[in-house]
């Protein structure tokens, strides 16, 4: 089957035949991720006496096998960890620009951006961070032996797992006649050379071998020795610029979280190089200024206020945020302060849309090939982990010998210095390419606590939309007291300053409200679905975990025990 129609057919069959875990209750612990087999893998670690960190690591390795569009060892991401003692920390394993990267590497000889070069070329690959990040999390906070956490992923890759309909839809896309990408064409084929069929066990022997080295040698199993040598060899042969030195130098970094509050709740999220935490807290602070006794969920006023909060926070994101190791004076305290939110709130006209000024700042919407997992354990530990390949299946490149896909994360840097356009291309200085710099992210792994106890663990994929979908879900739970599954499924909108428009989810906004918003000066654009949120809440009175997996991910699951 070759047509778009066939993809639709696959997806609709998937929705009918795959078990949905829309919402799950449990007493002892919970894992929510975009693949229920991987969530079960995480829960099996909890059952063996592991903590939330162990479960998150095992789930992440498993997703590298079951969800290769976003789960990965060739990309990067972030962990927010709340320890049972109430302390919160984060681990930054964002990809880095290679040592030989330059801020004009995507420009032609007259300084114009070579279309697509920052996303669709071997030079779009950043130095991967995932293995270093998971290893660091384990060294500092894990309980079970490292090998036990990697082994289930090795077994899933070696012995295979039932090929699902989402993978089959991707396989159909990548194996069409005329496809020039040999790596992706072979990726979904079995040993006979045929495309793997739904429910057939999909085996990935090369990936299993790579994971085995990681199991036995830890971080060095990826960044040194055989794997590093093969990566460097493959890069050189294909015009890439990542070397053995780049890999050897890569380190994950533990950083202090961004901390904010909303009424009685404390909010912890990711600091730069993700913009997620700063922008989330900025928007929550602004919303705290309004009176929600008078503003109904989904009303014109509500959507207008949310969009105006987003417009302002995304403008600040573009102006100020980048890798903290290269931008030493980012005004984070100011952006996340209540005073700043008060001034921002007072400047909003509740009857008219503001105008995003393209001579200043903004960001472009991009697709989702990121994935999020949330974990809570019986001892009160919580992990919020988001990691990514950037686009779906990242760069769509990899060494056949190693069996995993590389990211195309260099596309998250501002590619053309100094050029900011109304279409959302940004050229501001904090996020320009430089050797060893981390590109600005929107990933927003978040933990909300009350009285020092984790209350909500949440996150999402979705490029720039991540911050806004997490923001609205957190807001739905904290302000409107929605159950986590309802909060995940409720209307999401997205505004990112530039382009100056509100994107809204199909069927979830009434035509009257849309018309009223247009009359206020907003440009409205319908969109199929925003985000794929994986969330868990904990009720400290009933001592019950409630988990939910976004229905946009038919293979996802919140699994507890």
Residue nearest to ligand GLY (CB): 441
Q: Please tell me which residue in 59, 130, 175, 370 is annotated as part of the active site.
A: 370
Q: Judged by CB, which is closer to ligand GLY: 39, or 442? A: 442
In whole angstroms, how close is the CB of 317 to ligand GLY at the nearest point?
A: 11
Q: Which of 391, 397, 410, 457 is nearest to 59 (CA)?
A: 457
For tokens 């904090």, the residue is 430
> Per CB under 6 A, does 412 bind ligand GLY?
yes
Binding mask 449-468 toward ligand GLY (x if CB under 6 A, else -) reads: --------------x-----
Of 118, 210, 388, 473, the one binding ligand GLY by CB under 6 A: 388
Q: Judged by CB, which is closer to ligand GLY: 68, or 463? A: 463
- Contacts (CB under 6 A) with ligand GLY, residues 61-120: none
Q: Does the annotation mark 370 as catalytic? A: yes
In whole angstroms, how close is the CB of 354 to ligand GLY at the nearest point?
A: 25
In whole angstroms, how close is the CB of 214 to ligand GLY at the nearest point?
A: 23
DSSP label at residue 32: E
Q: Judged by CB, which is closer to ligand GLY: 215, or 317? A: 317
Q: Judged by CB, which is closer to ligand GLY: 59, or 388? A: 388
Q: Which of 391, 399, 407 is nearest to 76 (CA)?
A: 407
Q: How far is CA 353 from CA 217, 305, 529, in A?
A: 56, 9, 24
In whole angstroms, how close is the CB of 369 to ligand GLY at the nearest point?
A: 7
Number of H helices, E strands in the chain: 18, 19
Of 92, 316, 390, 489, the one binding ligand GLY by CB under 6 A: 390
CB-CB contact of 352 with 300 (8 Å): no
User: What are the φ/ψ torsions at residue 216 (nearest 5 degrees)?
Assistant: -80, -30
- Which stretch in 14-22, 184-192, 248-256, 438-446 sits in contact with ligand GLY by CB under 6 A? 438-446
In whole angstroms, how close is the CB of 463 to ligand GLY at the nearest point?
A: 5
Binding mask 467-506 toward ligand GLY (x if CB under 6 A, else -) reads: ----------------------------------------
Q: Is 284 helix (H, G, I), strand (E, B) or coil?
A: helix
In whole angstroms, how close is the CB of 118 to ligand GLY at the nearest point?
A: 12
Q: Judged by CB, which is closer to ligand GLY: 211, or 385? A: 385
In whole angstroms, how close is the CB of 322 to ligand GLY at the nearest point?
A: 13
Q: Judged by CB, which is closer to ligand GLY: 225, or 367? A: 367
**Per rule CB under 6 A, count of chain residues that contact ligand GLY:** 8
Q: Which are the contacts of 97, defined by CB distance < 8 A and separation ≥ 6?
A: 126, 127, 410, 413, 433, 434, 435, 436, 437, 438, 439
> Per CB under 6 A, does 443 bind ligand GLY?
yes
Can you give 441-491 as a three-state secondary structure string?
ECCCCEEEEECCEEEEEECCCCCCHHHHHHHHHHHHHHCCCCCHHHHHHCC
Of 370, 374, 399, 546, the one binding ligand GLY by CB under 6 A: 370
Q: Judged by CB, which is closer to ligand GLY: 374, or 442? A: 442
Q: Which of 365, 415, 410 is nearest to 388 (CA)?
A: 410
Structure token digits, residue 18: 């795959």
Q: Which of 280, 266, 282 is nearest to 333 (CA)?
A: 282
> Per CB under 6 A, does 371 bind ligand GLY?
no
Other CB atoms within 10 Å distance of the CB of residue 504: 24
Q: How far is CA 365 from CA 277, 323, 427, in A?
A: 18, 20, 15
CB-CB contact of 214 with 73 (8 Å): yes
- The residue ranges that bind ligand GLY (CB under 6 A) are 370, 388, 390, 412, 441-443, 463
Residues classed as catalytic? 370
């Amino acid at each position: 089957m070759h047509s778009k129609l066939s993809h639709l057919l696959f997806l609709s069959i998937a929705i009918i035949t795959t078990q949905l875990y829309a919402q799950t209750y449990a007493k002892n612990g919970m894992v929510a991720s975009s693949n229920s087999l991987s969530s079960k893998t995480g829960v099996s670690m909890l059952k063996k006496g592991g903590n939330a960190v162990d479960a998150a690591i095992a789930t992440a390795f498993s997703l590298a096998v079951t969800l290769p569009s976003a789960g990965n060892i060739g990309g990067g991401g972030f962990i927010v960890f709340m320890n049972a003692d109430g302390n919160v920390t984060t681990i930054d394993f964002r990809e880095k620009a290679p040592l030989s990267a330059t801020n004009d590497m995507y420009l032609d000889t007259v300084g114009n951006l070579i279309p697509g070069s920052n996303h669709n070329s071997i030079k779009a690959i950043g130095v991967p961070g995932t293995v270093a990040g998971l290893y660091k999390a384990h060294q500092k906070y894990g309980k079970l032996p490292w090998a036990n956490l990697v082994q289930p992923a090795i077994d899933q890759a070696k012995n295979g797992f039932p090929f699902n309909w989402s993978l089959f839809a991707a396989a159909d896309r990548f194996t069409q006649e005329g496809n020039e990408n040999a790596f992706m064409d072979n990726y979904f084929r079995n040993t006979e050379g045929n495309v793997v069929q739904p429910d057939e066990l999909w085996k990935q022997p090369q990936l299993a071998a790579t994971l085995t080295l990681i199991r036995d040698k830890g971080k060095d199993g990826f960044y040194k020795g055989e794997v590093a040598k093969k990566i460097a060899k493959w890069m050189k042969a294909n015009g890439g610029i990542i070397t053995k030195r780049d890999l050897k130098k890569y380190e994950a970094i533990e950083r202090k979280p961004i901390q904010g509050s909303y009424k009685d709740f404390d909010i912890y999220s990711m600091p730069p190089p993700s913009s997620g935490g700063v922008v989330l807290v900025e928007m929550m602070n602004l919303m705290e200024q309004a009176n929600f006794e008078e503003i109904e969920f989904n009303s014109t006023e509500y959507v207008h206020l949310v969009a105006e909060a987003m417009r302002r926070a995304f403008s600040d994101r573009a102006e100020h945020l980048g890798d903290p190791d290269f931008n030493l004076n980012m005004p984070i305290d100011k952006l996340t302060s209540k005073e700043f939110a008060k001034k921002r709130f007072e400047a909003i006209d509740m009857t008219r849309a503001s105008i995003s000024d393209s001579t200043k700042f903004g960001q472009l919407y991009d697709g989702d090939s990121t994935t999020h997992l949330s974990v809570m354990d019986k001892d009160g530990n919580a992990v919020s982990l988001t990691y990514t390949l950037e686009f779906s299946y990242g760069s769509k490149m990899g060494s056949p010998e190693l069996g995993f896909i590389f990211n195309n994360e260099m596309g998250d840097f501002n590619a053309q210095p100094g050029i900011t356009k109304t279409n959302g291309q940004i050229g501001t200085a904090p996020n320009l390419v430089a050797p060893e710099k981390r590109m600005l992210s929107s990933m927003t792994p978040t933990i909300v606590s009350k009285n020092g106890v984790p209350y909500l663990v949440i996150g999402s994929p979705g490029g720039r939309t991540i911050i806004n979908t997490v923001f609205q879900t957190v807001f739905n739970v904290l302000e409107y007291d929605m159950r986590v599954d309802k909060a995940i499924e409720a209307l999401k909108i997205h505004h990112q300053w530039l382009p100056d428009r509100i994107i809204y989810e199909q069927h979830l906004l009434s035509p009257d409200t849309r018309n009223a918003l247009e009359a206020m000066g907003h440009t409205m654009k319908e969109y199929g679905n925003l985000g794929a949120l994986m969330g868990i809440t904990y009720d400290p009175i009933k001592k019950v975990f409630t988990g939910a997996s976004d229905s946009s991910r038919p293979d996802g699951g919140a699994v507890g025990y």
